[in-house]
A and B are shown apart, each in its own frame.
Chain A
Amino acid sequence: MKRELIKFICFSLFVMLMPSFFKGGYLMNVLVFVGINTMLAIALNLLLGYAGQISLGHAGFFGLGAYLSGIMTVTYGWNPWQAMPVAAIAVGCLAYLIGFPILKLKGHYLAMATLGIGIIIYIVFNETYDLTGGPSGLSGIPNLELGGIVFDTDVKNYYLIWTFTLAVVLFSINLANSRVGRALRAVHDSEVAARVVGVNARLLKVQVFALSAVLSSLAGSLYAHTMTFISPASFGFNFSVELLTMVVIGGLGSVYGSFLGAALLTLLPEFLRSANDYDIIIYGGLLVIMVMFMPGGLVRGIPDLFKKVFKTKGGADHA
């Protein structure tokens, strides 16, 4: 536990010192989204990496959080700080309700069902013009404000978003190392065995599904208040798949892996932009290579790589 704490403190320091390297340039803006995506990847990882339940509809929960926050603040004039928890609770309740029938399904069927939910939510955003503004989106969402500070620049938003993200990281690490975390991993390995030793697998799966939705919704609210504009296109099926890719590339069942995955998938397109029209090919190629040679994700693959390099060097010395 102490080691975990030291790791977390190092990570926090790393995150908090980041802005001093960038001096408010454009990358600052991208790093804000790395924060949001990290939160989402962790949320999905709790479900997929720990409990072993797939979801292809998380962009939907992310969108619900964003839209509920947006609608409550824009149309009904709520304070964003009130709208955020209300949205999170509402999304959590919804996930809890649909979790019971859906999480009875396994494997491909669960993937299909969650995919369906994501698409239904997306269609609702598109079709309820009066509420969501339809496909042309909802604008004029207020920035968050705290004690006279309005979070309206990239640097301010960076600290805001990453404070939340770090809280989620800490919470998830604690959860993963608790009794609940062990129960989740038991369900992942064998649901039957977990039930035999007294884990209420069915309820636990629904709970973690709801928790994952709540965290996604929170990320959605933060996204809405930093972007100040939302449209359904950001919450489609593609984004669900992108989240899934972040989790898998980063490393299943690892909180820091989620960060690595989110950071890589958010930053990589920016660095590849100089390759113009070939960026998509390089991007795809890199993903394939990573999945092939780092099946455990970046979080395990990178240390392995270091070890390999180190070992061959050591061997050469001997010879």
Chain B
Amino acid sequence: MNCRVISYLFVAVTIMFSTTALAAAPIKIGGLFAVTGPAAFLGEPERNTANMVVDEINKAGGVKGHKLELVVYDTAGDATKAVQLTTKLIKDDKVVAIIGPSTTGETMAVIPVAEKLQVPLISCSAGSKITDPVKKWIFKTAQNDSLAVGRIYEYLQKSKQTNVAILSVSDGFGASGREQLKAQAAKYGIKIVSDDTYGPKDTDMTVQLTKIRGSHVQAIICWGTNPGPAVIAKNARQLDIKTPIFMSHGVSSKKFIELAGEAAEGIKIPSGKVVVADQLSNSDHQKKSLMSFVKDYQKHYKTEGDHFGGHAWDAVMLIKNAVEKGADSPQSIRDNLEKTRGFAGIGGTFNYSPQDHAGLGKDAFVLVEVKNKDWVVVK
């Protein structure tokens, strides 16, 4: 009898120890993406990519023997939900780092929470105020709007098209772009002749374009995400506007060319290198990352990976690299993230420092043009 009790006890104890040993192994990462709602076009590829990358890392044996575990929640693009879910990830799921949220508004809302509870957060949204001023626990992988604006203005300055019209969408993305377009104009000698906005759900922009046509500008810069810019491209074609049109990195995917059809031809945008990955020279640092991302995404989801998914790819890889260097707690991951140098990801080459938590330089963007229904690098 006694013998049996002891053997039971022995089994129980071994099971207990082995489960705790297993439970200690995986490194938990949180993901907050707007998978549904108006920002689903960001959240869905981000979630898909994050799941895909974590799977691949685990298949390859994890990081230093640790498996990664990704806990994903859908914020539906709602700031209140994002705050609640950040709290949940940190307090209940006890994650060591968070990827997301997808939009600038949500990110601004969750920053106080992540800062207070001291967990590193790598945002996938673009707003420059996320990391300016620098916040101890907050990083981001999406390229700043200011870099995209700089790319366009540089080109315009070189080709002496200095009178421009701005047409931006009235949401967070458009507002931030508009701000940057106005702020940087003087630096490049650009004169903004007209400044109009359109609603995110508008289906016809002929009014704004007719007004712009009358103002004799040399270039039209449109700042928005699908489907608005496609409507603008079509309307401009209908109105026979010959002025060169520039758009933002918000439309840098094949989707835009599908939506705008013929009217997309000749439109130029600043874009992450992902849409032109196969055209890059082999000496490009990012080429290897880009090609593997594009191929994997195609294999898993049967569609093209875009640069939104790339933001999540970069975030997972940054955390993976931090863990590889021996970090396993929020504090040590944060410290290692800040030491990231020369990481060639999808969005660009990241160099974080205590003064810079955005980490990207001008080379993150190339200017591309639609030619024969595909994106081509503008030389």
Contacts and interface: CB of A to CB of B under 8 A. Distances in A.
A204 to B, nearest CB: 34
Contact of A233 (B77, B92, B170, B197): B77
B74 to A, nearest CB: 8
B84 interface: yes
B105 A233 contact: yes
Interface string B77-90: 11110011001101
B108 A26 contact: no
Given A29-B84, A126-B170, A139 B36 contact: no
Given A29-B84, A231-B79, 19 more contacts: A25-B91, A25-B92, A26-B84, A26-B87, A26-B88, A26-B92, A33-B80, A126-B170, A127-B197, A129-B175, A134-B170, A136-B104, A136-B108, A136-B175, A137-B79, A231-B105, A233-B105, A234-B78, A280-B36
How extensive is the interface on chain B, given as a class?
Answer: 20 to 34
Interface string A278-313: 001000000000000000000000000000000000
B148 to A, nearest CB: 16
A136 B172 contact: yes
Contacts of B77: 233
B65 interface: no
B354 interface: no
Given A25-B92, A135-B172, A229 B78 contact: no
A279 to B, nearest CB: 8
Nearest to B169: A135
A135 B171 contact: yes
Given A126-B170, A129-B175, A231 B91 contact: no
A122 to B, nearest CB: 11
Given A135-B175, A136-B175, A227 B109 contact: yes
B80 A227 contact: yes
Interface string A12-40: 00000000000011100110010000000
A135 B91 CA distance: 29
Nearest to B77: A233
A123 B154 CA distance: 34
Interface of B: 36, 73, 77-80, 83-84, 87-88, 90-92, 104-105, 108-109, 111-112, 116, 127, 129, 170-172, 174-176, 197
Given A135-B175, A136-B104, A227-B80, A154 B109 contact: no
Contacts of A280: 36
A26 B91 CA distance: 6
A135 B79 CA distance: 12
B175 A229 contact: no
Contacts of A191: none
B48 to A, nearest CB: 13
Interface string A188-230: 0000000000000000000000000000000000000001111
Nearest to A36: B80
A234 B108 CA distance: 13
A231 B170 contact: no
Given A126-B170, A135-B172, A231-B79, A30 B84 contact: yes
Contacts of B84: 26, 29-30, 33, 270
Contact of B87 (A154, A228, A273): A154
Interface in A171-185: none
Given A30-B84, A33-B80, A137-B79, A231 B109 contact: yes
A180 B149 CA distance: 60
B73 A227 contact: no
Contacts of A129: 175
A234 B73 contact: no
Nearest to B175: A134
Nearest to A226: B83
A222 B105 CA distance: 19
A231 B172 CA distance: 9
Contacts of B79: 137, 227, 229-231, 233-234
A127 B170 contact: yes
Contacts of A24: 91
Contacts of A270: 84
B109 A136 contact: no
A222 B38 CA distance: 26
A137 B116 CA distance: 20
Contacts of A230: 79
A230 B172 CA distance: 13
Contact of B105 (A30, A135, A152): A135
B87 A136 contact: no
A273 B170 CA distance: 32
Contacts of B174: 135
A229 B73 contact: no
A241 to B, nearest CB: 14
A151 to B, nearest CB: 13
Contacts of A137: 79, 105, 108-109, 172
Nearest to A229: B109
A181 to B, nearest CB: 32
B144 to A, nearest CB: 13
8 contacts: A26-B87, A126-B170, A129-B175, A137-B108, A229-B112, A231-B172, A233-B79, A234-B78
A135 B116 contact: no
Contacts of A231: 79, 105, 108-109, 172
Nearest to A269: B81
Contacts of B111: 139, 229
B170 A29 contact: no
Interface in A110-134: 126-127, 129, 134
Contacts of B83: 29, 227
Given A26-B84, A135-B175, A136-B172, A228 B78 contact: no
A233 B78 CA distance: 7
Contacts of A135: 105, 170-172, 174-175
A273 B73 contact: yes
Contacts of B92: 25-26
Contacts of A127: 170, 197
A152 B112 CA distance: 10
B171 A228 contact: no
A216 to B, nearest CB: 16
